[in-house]
Amino acid sequence: VQLVESGGGLVQAGGSLRLSCAASGTFFAIGDMRWFRRAPGQQRELVASITSGGSTNFADSVKGRFTISRDNTKNTVYLQMNSLKPEDDTAVYYCNARIVIRHGASWSNYWGQGTQVTVSS
């Protein structure tokens, strides 16, 4: 199983970016999907999460600016980031998903490789 992220890059303050994370490989089901980020010198932060049923949660720092969604037919989760702020949002963003490989197996956490988001002032 692999999680492949895309959509990072350089954007000006106030701009928008959309991150995507697609799960590939052989598996039975995908549960919660999440986006984390890690800024230089800081701990990893949970940014947003979405259940398989579509319920969402957001870090206070991104509420009202970011949205998370998923397309279960494409095994893909998205993070729409608006009104980006240089110091708050510049980080490497990581996709995370809980996946069960086969029916009856345990859920496991999988991570993407990370994608850099840089917001310039």
Asked if 47 and 114 touch (Cβ cutoff 8 Å), the reply is: no
Confidence at 11, pLDDT banded by 50, 70, 90: very high
Buried b (16+ CB within 10 A) or exposed e, 34-47: bbbbeeeeeeeeeb
Mean pLDDT within 93-98: 98
Tell me what pLDDT residue 99 has. 98
Tell me what pLDDT residue 62 has. 98
Tell me what pLDDT residue 88 has. 95
Mean pLDDT within 54-70: 98
Q: For 80-91, how does the pLDDT look when each residue is reduced to its tens digit (9 = 90+)?
A: 999 999 999 999
Tell me what pLDDT residue 114 has. 97
